[in-house]
């Protein structure tokens, strides 16, 4: 499993590859700020992400 850090809020995820027999298009989004962590298009490799460390102090306050 690889690690990935959200570029918007800094939350840390473990990310796992999954291989499918058919092509798929989708994204994995940050559960803290909705930023796209990983995306794929017409690929047989998909991803899942598990939140390991939640960081919210990088987020800008709502207007």
Output the pLDDT for position 14.
97
Output the pLDDT for position 56.
76
User: For the whole model, what pTM was predicted?
Assistant: 0.79
User: What 3-state class would DSSP assign to 63?
Assistant: coil
Sheet holding 2-5, edge to edge: 2-5, 12-29, 36-53
18 and 45 in contact (C-beta within 8 Å)? yes
Output the pLDDT for position 41.
96
10-residue averages of pLDDT along the chain (63 residues)? 92 95 96 95 96 78 55
Output the pLDDT for position 60.
58
Output the pLDDT for position 63.
55
């Amino acid at each position: 499993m690889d690690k990935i850090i959200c570029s918007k809020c800094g939350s840390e995820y473990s990310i796992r590859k999954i291989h499918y027999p058919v092509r798929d298009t989708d994204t994995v989004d940050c559960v803290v700020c909705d930023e796209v962590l990983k995306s794929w298009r017409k690929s047989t490799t998909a991803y899942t992400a598990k939140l390991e460390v939640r960081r919210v102090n990088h987020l800008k306050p709502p207007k």
